[in-house]
Structure 1
């Protein structure tokens, strides 16, 4: 089977061919085109549909095929940003200055001719409404059979500026973790992160306040205590003559686990990662630091990682660097050329390092 390869064409057709050939991938990491935000200048591109329902229907079709291509214990990590409804209910993204800096939006084609907007409608949206496309897509995929396991907030410490005076500057996007099955491969150890500066050891032994004074905690000890007790517990009866069952907050196993200060903790669901540019004229690139934890948690060395919207090849580059195989699809031949050069250079670096 050919791996470390990006196929040119509509990702839906590419995936149908891979599925027919019996190919299965372990992990999918991708960022689809956002609805109505940019014209990538390629015939047949997704993201410029006349309506949001049409866009969502196309996305569901894409990810139904992704689910067929995915191993039974595989995971999908899906990045999606949002936009606002414009004066006609059509989507619009950042401020004009930011839009110009990030190239074109859906309001202009590559030849600088306006795209007709009069036929673009979002049912129920008013001007300046947040479209909510990340969650609309997540719920649509959930309805189609995916397990929606988590929403991860990608916090951008260096967001694009916006010339708005009636709301906050947008500084986050979402990464959704979706799975094909209830049980799936997830490398818990790979998703550990350093503890915060306030972490400290809890001492040796159970907190004495966890049980009332005189409480026999030895094997075979009593399980009830009568009389007044002001500590943590649940009372039964009336007045002060009641049976108290303390809720022991700590026990020996818990105490042993926290006696020494730990250096790592389970990764939190807000990831602070700066945006990252790529010198290849592709203006919608993933930061490698956003892709890396997804691949580490969702695959093992040697597994296949797939991106149906490969773009400039960030997913391929990170997968290759981490010892995974990769496959992808991309409609624009210019981006495939960028990807080939990017992964070729990485391969040379890996060979020299070996």
Structure 2
């Protein structure tokens, strides 16, 4: 392992670089859009990422995505990052985007507790305000966040090739009484050209449904109180969407799952996160 000196770039972005398993890794700590400007055009083979979901968690970081007052502001904030991802992704590259949905309550501040994460309750959230979030939504409606983001991305040249259902087997059930409890999330597979890298063979070999992936979710980390997706989910994305020795990027690294899996599978990794706490956690594990 070789950890190089911490660099400070424009916009107060910190950058670390090193090697693991003879593969290079780079970690940027700062705003995603500003950090991505330091990555060359068409230099990344595959992107696997799960941005902060809308109005579900407060990580206590200025400039974080997810706490916008309206749905449209959230979609636009996220798509500004997607515009930069389009630039850095190779012409034959693929993006896997994991997004969960949110319900509009319109009933005021939440006073409950959520056993999944103590960061889920933080006073009056946008989804708890009255007014429909600028979308004329009725109370208790699911907002359709993943599809709103996906449709906006298609208007920005992205090619939506496949919505994949992640069946979250054995997930902690939602505390709801008047609707079915959700057991899935979306993983959207995007490309930027008609021809791109795709390897179906791993799906055939495992004899699994190609667009419904049953994978047990990973428990929330006690150290970070974040919501990391499981290693298997990242591995499956890389198996079908990233060539051997490719470069993998995650602009919302969180606890660093994408980087770790990429490096373990013989690929180079680039990570970005706005939280200094998360970045320090990733560095500790890369050093270890």
Normalized against structure 1, the TM-score is what?
0.70
**Corresponding residue of 2:38:** 17
**Corresponding residue of 2:216:** 274
**Corresponding residue of 1:46:** 65
What's the CA shift for 1:145?
0.7
Partner Cα separation in structure 2 for residue 296 and residue 306 of structure 1: 15
Q: Is the 8 A contact 2:119 2:225 kept in 1?
A: no
Partner Cα separation in structure 1 for residue 108 and residue 52 of structure 2: 19
**Corresponding residue of 1:103:** 118
Larger Rg: 1
Tell me the secondary structure at the aligned position of residue 142 of structure 2: coil
Q: 2:55 aligns with which of 32, 36, 45?
A: 36
**Uncovered stretches (5+) of structure 1, i.e. residues with no partner:** 196-265, 346-354
Q: Is the 8 A contact 1:187 1:298 kept in 2?
A: yes
After superposition, what is the alpha-carbon deviation per residue over 1:306-352, rounded to whole angstroms, capped at 9, x for unaligned? 0000011000010011000000111111111111122333xxxxxxx
**Corresponding residue of 1:340:** 283
Q: 2:84 aligns with which of 52, 56, 65?
A: 65
As a proportion of its length, which structure holds more strand?
Answer: 2
**Corresponding residue of 2:274:** 331
In the TM superposition, structure 1's runs of 4+ consecutive aligned residues that sit over 6 Å from their partners are none
Partner Cα separation in structure 1 for residue 108 and residue 249 of structure 2: 34
Q: Is the 8 A contact 1:282 1:312 kept in 2?
A: no
Partner Cα separation in structure 1 for residue 74 and residue 68 of structure 2: 6
What's the CA shift for 1:280?
3.0
After superposition, what is the alpha-carbon deviation per residue over 1:64-98, rounded to whole angstroms, capped at 9, x for unaligned? 110000000000000000111112599x9xx945x
Matched, 1:292 2:235: yes
Q: Give the stretch that moved more between structures: 48-57 or 270-279.
A: 270-279
Q: 2:193 aligns with which of 181, 202, 210?
A: 181
Q: Is the 8 A contact 2:28 2:271 kept in 1?
A: yes
Tell me the secondary structure at the aligned position of residue 185 of structure 2: strand
Q: Is the 8 A contact 2:117 2:225 kept in 1?
A: no
What's the CA shift for 1:114?
5.0
Tell me the secondary structure at the aligned position of residue 226 of structure 2: coil
Partner Cα separation in structure 2 for residue 315 and residue 127 of structure 1: 36
1:104-183 alignment runs, 5 A limit? 104-105=119-120, 107-108=121-122, 114=124, 118=129, 121-183=133-195
Q: Is the 8 A contact 1:33 1:46 kept in 2?
A: yes
What's the CA shift for 1:188?
2.1
Identify if the C-alpha distance between structure 1 residues 307 and 31 changes in structure 2 by more than 3 Å, giving closer, same or farther: same
Tell me the secondary structure at the aligned position of residue 152 of structure 2: helix
Q: 1:4 aligns with which of 18, 25, 29?
A: 25
Tell me the secondary structure at the aligned position of residue 67 of structure 2: coil
Partner Cα separation in structure 1 for residue 281 and residue 204 of structure 2: 33
**Corresponding residue of 2:11:** none
RMSD, matched Cα: 2.4
**Uncovered stretches (5+) of structure 2, i.e. residues with no partner:** 1-16, 18-23
Count of aligned pairs = 264
